[in-house]
Amino acid sequence: MMAAAQSRLQVAHRLDPLLAPRSIAFVGASPRKHTPGHDMLTMIARSGFTGAVFAVNPTHAEIDGRRCYPSVAALPAPVDLVVLSVANARIETALREAIDAGARAAVIFASLYLEDDTDPPLIQRISGIARAAGIPLCGGNGMGFYNDAAQVWVAAFDNARKARPGGITFISHSGSPYGALAHNDPRFRFNLVVSAGQELVTTAADYLDYALDQPETRVVGLFLETVRDPAGFVAALDKARSRQIPVVVLKVGRTAASAAMALTHSGAITGDDATYRALFDRYGVLAVDTLDELAASLSLFDQARRAATGELVAVHDSGGERELAMDLAASLGVNFARIGPDTVARLRGRLEHGLAPVNPLDAWGTGRDFIDIFADCFQALIDDPNAALGLFFNDARDDFHIHEGFAEAARRVHAATAKPIAIASNFSLARHPKIAAALSEHGIPVLVGTVPALVAARNMMAYRDVLSRPADPPPQVRAQRDWTKRLAATDPLDEAEALSLLGDYGIASLPRLVVDSERAALDAVQRIGFPAVLKTAAPHIRHKTEQHGVKLAIADEASAALAYRDLARRLGPKVLVTRMAPPGVELAFGLASDPQFGPVVMVAAGGISIELMRDAAHALPPFGPKTARRLIDRLRIRVLLDGVRSAAPCDVDALADALARFSVLAAELAGDTASIDVNPLVATPNGVIALDALVVPKPR
């Protein structure tokens, strides 16, 4: 452990004074048990920290045999880290005194809320003091951190935790998830756990960057409420991807959409959650929905092995629980591997009569020779060329010879394969701490719950696929017109000009003419041809169908005249004349601008279904056709593009190319546009045609 700490300290990082200090002063130290002032001294003593530790409190000469100093200034030398466990009213003075005495970092447990505070409030004053001094600060309103790799525990509360150094870094905005993972289960082996608190100075992006520089880190988990340093967060995610360290995120507060993005359909659909999903997709971040899923994913990645090619194999001791796992896997998008004939033959030669040699496998028969049967069958499954990783589902409980036998079978298989395997229970309250601890010593995770285990397996295979993604450069598009200059003008783009903008980036549309009289409309339909379409071109109308401003399938001049008169009477004389589009699948492209992460591109089910179905996928632009194809493949309406009920399949390659071109447009014009709708856009067997577009420039 000492060697690991010394090796770690050789790697210089700006957070070393905070997270791996050589000396610590605990201000507000107290002899009174079960107070943060006493508990923090207890925990640093139990951590194995070998640096200098100082207690600071002017009212005590010593605490539990340790000399106590009246102030940080009275210490024999400046310290790397000062831990402030004092009341809110004294925090500001204490921090200034520590900085004046040469402290290089600080931890604050207090909430920093004062009942009769001044303006600016204490939170802002503390942040300003630390930033002006250039020191990292953990908190406030946090619970500290455990750096097991460096043997530094800065904790506000005493607990029975034991250091079991491993490869998991966990960074949490909330104290309760921090405590849940750090204190409850010894199978989780951390190198670093941080309660980030209010992030007044040091943010999750900083802690993530630090963790990625530590040689022990195999996987990073984040319990994320918000991102306070978008640029730093993106840089850290890019660093994680380049170093092939998986990042698993539980993002909360996902239901709030940005009110600034409500002028278009894409704005209404692309909210905070969609933006984060797009961000995570760009950098290969794995999103989970619950703490159990987060814990399972971190455990699976911590065992160091990575998924091979192929899909999941699983062995069960129950036919019913196998069916449960199969049902849940289908709903979660987890695929089981198709095993080959050699594997089938190996299984058939080992299974008892009546058991089918399939994957997932129910291997329980009479119980005779069960350890060897399960070991041999699990080995046959994991050896299959299509097996990426393996799960052994059983509701293990301690002191039961059957489950001890299953653990032995798992150990045999683990020793004979380089692929990842894990035990997975179906019941979350199964009592197996001894089995779990023993298996974790052998590098075999024990995952709790069918869904968390399947999600963890899905994440491991998804991360493998992220690392193997081919390069996908965006298409080379050169617009002929200076659209930035045009978007800066005061008059908005009408539909015709918006479609011209798309055309300049290579996205096709139908011939069109804008007219302002009945005679001009009749001339236009003659030139464009029947069946024709007339649409209001009034600049103040954003969504034409809602105003009955679209007349479809006009077959002759008389119908055209009637259509024009109705539109002109209700919505104004300016009308766009175009041709009726060929049949196809209606989709929509969209651009919304996120205040933190910039432009976000959307592809969705289009037409009148766009907000009813909310069938959409999002990505950060620009991107190439391979990424565009992945987005399209996620849509529920994807099956329609392949042709149903005798309909010819659409040209999906052309659709992906159009979406990639739109992403280039989005990236180049994001600074000048608040949002863009292309809806509908029809995909046909012969290509893609944009039928309508709405461009909302950014307010000047």
| CATH number of the domain enclosing 189 | 3.40.50.720
Tell me the pLDDT band of 260, cut-offs 50, 70 and 90.
very low
Residue type, 566: D
Q: Do residues 551 and 434 both lie within one domain?
A: no
Q: b vs e for 380-407, b when ≥16 Cβ sit within 10 Å of the residue's Cβ?
A: bbbbbebbbbbbbbbbbbeeeeebbbbb
Q: Do residues 528 and 600 both lie within one domain?
A: no
Structural domain ending residue among the three candidates 533, 562, 579: 579
Token pair belonging to 80: 């790397």
387-409 per-position pLDDT tens digit: 999 999 999 999 999 999 999 99
Q: Do residues 552 and 604 both lie within one domain?
A: no
Give the chain's domain count.
4
Tell me how far CA of residue 27 lies from CA of 131, 251, 277, 484, in angstroms. Answer: 20, 34, 42, 56
Q: Do residues 326 and 182 both lie within one domain?
A: no
Q: Do residues 41 and 145 both lie within one domain?
A: yes
| CATH number of the domain enclosing 384 | 3.40.50.261
Residue 277 domain-assigned? no
Residue 329 domain-assigned? yes
Residue 673 domain-assigned? yes
**Coil/strand/helix, residue 666:** helix
- What does the pLDDT read at residue 255? 63
Mean predicted lDDT score pLDDT of the chain: 92
Contact between 229 and 201 (Cβ < 8 Å): no
Q: Do residues 87 and 41 both lie within one domain?
A: yes
Residue 289 domain-assigned? no
228-252 per-position pLDDT tens digit: 999 999 999 999 999 999 999 999 8
Q: Do residues 574 and 591 both lie within one domain?
A: no
Q: Do residues 175 and 68 both lie within one domain?
A: yes
Kind of pairing between the strands at 247-251 and 168-172: unpaired
| CATH number of the domain enclosing 683 | 3.30.470.20
- What does the pLDDT read at residue 614? 82
Q: Do residues 182 and 52 both lie within one domain?
A: yes
| Mean pLDDT of the 494-505 span | 94
Residue 251 domain-assigned? no
Give the whole-number percent of the chain exceeding pLDDT 70. Answer: 96
**Domain span including residue 647:** 585-697
Contact between 611 and 603 (Cβ < 8 Å): no
Q: 495-504 and 652-669 are packed helices; what angle lies between their axes, rounded to 10 degrees?
A: 100
Q: Do residues 121 and 153 both lie within one domain?
A: yes
- What does the pLDDT read at residue 335? 97
Structural domain ending residue among the three candidates 230, 245, 260: 245
Which is it for the CA torsion 428, 432, 433, 438, positive or negative? negative
Residue 489 domain-assigned? no
Tell me the pLDDT band of 164, cut-offs 50, 70 and 90.
confident
Q: Do residues 341 and 368 both lie within one domain?
A: yes
| Mean pLDDT of the 371-395 span | 98
Contact between 521 and 534 (Cβ < 8 Å): yes
* pLDDT for residue 581 is more than 60: yes
Residue 258 domain-assigned? no
* pLDDT for residue 4 is more than 60: no
Residue 295 domain-assigned? no
Q: What is the pTM of this model?
A: 0.91
513-527 per-position pLDDT tens digit: 999 999 999 999 999
Question: Which residues have C-beta within 8 Å of that of residue 513, sequence separation ≥ 6?
Answer: 520, 524, 527, 528, 576, 577, 578
* pLDDT for residue 577 is more than 60: yes
* pLDDT for residue 361 is more than 70: yes
Count of residues for the chain? 700
* pLDDT for residue 137 is more than 50: yes
CA–CA distance, 665 with 401 (Å, rounded to integer): 64
- What does the pLDDT read at residue 271? 56
CA–CA distance, 577 with 597 (Å, rounded to integer): 38
Q: Do residues 238 and 348 both lie within one domain?
A: no
Structural domain ending residue among the three candidates 579, 596, 626: 579
| CATH number of the domain enclosing 538 | 3.30.1490.20
